[in-house]
Amino acid sequence: VQLQASGGGSVQPGDSLRLSCEISGFTLQRYVIGWFRQAPGKEREGVACISNYDDSTDYGNSVKGRFTISRDNAKATVYLQMNNLKPEDTAVYYCAADQPPAYGWYSLDSAEYDYWGQGTQVTVSS
């Protein structure tokens, strides 16, 4: 089971980025995928997650209305579209996967996820 996050970079406030999480070694359709981030000196934070059942989504309060998570099962890839980026969005972003313990389950709790990618740095600065 492997997850490869990419698409990070250095941008200015108000810019957009799209992160990608490429999945290999398992069938994406069977897994819930979450995006998390961790800034220096801070705890890991749940950013977005997407159900494998009906593509239901959930977002952290700080990114609602600005970030969008989506999945392309055919490409085995999950995306995180990030718009109107702010300096406080600066962090290392990770994607993670978990087989849902119950039908329709999805969660922003990082402790629930078993498989993690290596992270991609996002820096927002003027």
pLDDT averaged per 10 residues, the chain (length 126):
96 98 93 96 97 95 98 96 98 96 90 96 97
pLDDT of residue 87: 97
pLDDT of residue 118: 94
| Residues 6+ positions from 17 with CB-CB distance below 8 Å | 7, 8, 9, 11, 82, 85, 122
pLDDT of residue 72: 94
pLDDT of residue 104: 86
pLDDT of residue 2: 94
